[in-house]
């Protein structure tokens, strides 16, 4: 099942477009014929993610912190708010920046959408479910989050962002949508960003031990970035308010993932068990019934295929 992008946009603003998911979104939107303005402060993103786009007609890059304001030359008809540190290593290093981006940055992106009469989509996260007491997680589940734990700067910023988005729609009539992304992986992740897939791939390719936290029985559900981007654009086009889960419901334990990456890379690396971070969720799996029924969306890329493409990309990079 391939979701049709039933709407074509004239001008999309993508905050965080210099990051992993955002740069794939910019690429996909340009391919539909939309003009794209990317706004990014490169706090965690990389200019090289956008290198192939810089000369493309209709593409514009503004280097700015969205928490400090957001103005663009031409009104957009779509605002995708993806700016935010996303990997635990990044948001633990940038706690106040993460909270500012999720609060002030989301407010600024909403105001831009409202005054431009544009559709707005917030990148939320499965982290709003915290360490869930229900598996899989459906959108009606309210979550289990520690508001003062180390991960709270991210989880609560996103929960606040969802509340702000909902209030803006109710109070101002802004056309909003919320996508709750589950773990996404693929080319352009950073080998040292601390997330499981790039860490394991880098370690396997470099012949280092793969560092699995705890006993490795905690699960994640991994969605290949092309599938995630297709789901985000389907939610944008549909006009739904959400929140809607966008993720791959195939669960895998971290130990299984490490072994699969060792197999696919042909590495001789071993697995080394290390301490598990505080408040690390034990399970994480989306219920995607809503996305399937309302958007006709579901993931298409298998873990083997997505990991092969990711491994090929990392293998070609000397600086991984």
Among 3, 11, 12, 20, binds ligand NAD (CB under 6 A): 20
The reply to whether 307 sits near ligand NAD by the rule CB under 6 A is no
130 belongs to the binding site for ligand NAD (CB under 6 A):
no
Does 38 sit near ligand NAD (CB under 6 A)?
no
Q: Is 154 a catalytic residue?
A: yes
* Candidates 91, 129, 141, 154; catalytic one: 154
DSSP-derived 3-state class of residue 87? coil
Q: Evaluate whether 8 touches 31 at the Cβ level (below 8 Å).
A: no
Residue whose pair of structure tokens reads 């957009």 in the numeric block: 76
How far, in Å, CA of 208 to CA of 267, rounded? 9
How far is residue 49's CA from residue 290's CA, in Å, rounded to a whole number? Answer: 32
Answer for which of 27, 106, 125, 137 binds ligand NAD (CB under 6 A) is 125
Name the minimum Å distance from CB 39 to ligand NAD.
6
Q: Is residue 132 within the footprint of ligand NAD (CB under 6 A)?
A: no
The alpha-carbon radius of gyration of the chain (Å, integer) is: 19
Instruction: Please tell me the count of residues contacting ligand NAD according to CB under 6 A.
Output: 30
As measured in angstroms, the least distance from the Cβ of 268 to ligand NAD is 29
Of the two residues 243 and 269, which places its CB atom closer to ligand NAD in the complex? Answer: 243
Strand partners for 61? 38
Give me the 60-99 binding string for ligand NAD, x by CB under 6 A, dash otherwise.
Answer: -----xxx--------------xxxxx---x---------
CB of 15 to ligand NAD, least distance (A): 6
CB 268 within 8 A of CB 207: yes
Residue 44 is a binding residue for ligand NAD (CB under 6 A): yes
Site string for ligand NAD, 245-284 (x = CB under 6 A): ----------------------------------------
Residue closer to ligand NAD by CB (options 39, 311) is: 39
State the Cα–Cα distance between residues 213 and 17, nearest whole angstrom: 30
- By CB under 6 A, tell whether 183 contacts ligand NAD: yes
Q: How far is the CB of 270 from ligand NAD (least distance, A)?
A: 27
Helix ranges (DSSP H) in the chain: 20-31, 88-93, 95-100, 106-116, 152-172, 196-205, 225-238, 254-265, 289-290, 303-315
Separation of alpha carbons 150 and 276, rounded Å: 13
Q: Are strands 251-253 and 219-221 parallel, antiparallel or unpaired?
A: antiparallel
Whether the CA torsion 160, 82, 277, 99 is positive or negative: it is: negative
Residues of this chain that interact with ligand NAD (CB under 6 A) are 15-16, 18-22, 39-45, 65-67, 82-86, 90, 101, 105, 123, 125, 181, 183-184
Catalytic residue IDs = 154
């Amino acid at each position: 099942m391939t979701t049709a992008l039933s709407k074509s946009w004239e001008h999309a603003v993508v905050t965080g477009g210099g990051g992993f998911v955002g740069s794939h979104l910019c690429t996909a939107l340009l391919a539909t014929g939309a003009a794209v303005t990317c706004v990014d402060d490169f706090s965690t993103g990389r200019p090289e993610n956008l290198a192939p786009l810089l000369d493309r007609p209709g593409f514009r890059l503004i280097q700015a912190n969205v928490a400090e304001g957001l103005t663009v030359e031409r009104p957009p008809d779509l605002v995708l708010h993806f700016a935010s540190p996303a990997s635990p290593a990044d948001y633990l290093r940038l706690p106040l920046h993460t909270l500012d981006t999720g609060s002030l940055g989301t407010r600024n992106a909403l105001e831009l959408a409202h005054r431009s009469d544009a559709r707005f989509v917030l990148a939320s996260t499965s982290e709003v479910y915290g360490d869930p007491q229900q598996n899989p997680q459906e959108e009606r589940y309210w979550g289990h989050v520690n508001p003062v734990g180390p991960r709270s700067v991210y989880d609560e910023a996103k929960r606040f962002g969802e509340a702000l988005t909902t209030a803006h729609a109710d109070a101002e009539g802004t056309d909003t949508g919320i996508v709750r992304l589950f773990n996404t992986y693929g080319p352009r992740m950073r080998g040292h960003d601390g997330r499981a897939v790039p860490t394991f791939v880098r370690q396997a390719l470099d012949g280092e031990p793969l560092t699995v936290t705890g006993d490795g029985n905690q699960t994640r559900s991994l969605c290949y970035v092309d599938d995630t981007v297709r789901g985000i654009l389907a939610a944008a086009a549909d006009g739904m308010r959400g929140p809607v889960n966008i993720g791959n419901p195939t669960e895998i334990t971290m130990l299984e993932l490490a072994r699969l990456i060792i197999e696919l890379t042909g590495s001789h690396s071993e697995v080394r068990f290390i301490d598990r971070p505080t408040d690390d969720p034990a399970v994480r799996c989306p219920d995607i019934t809503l996305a399937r029924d309302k958007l006709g969306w579901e993931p298409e890329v298998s873990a083997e295929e997505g990991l092969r493409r990711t491994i090929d990309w990392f293998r070609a990079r000397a600086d991984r």
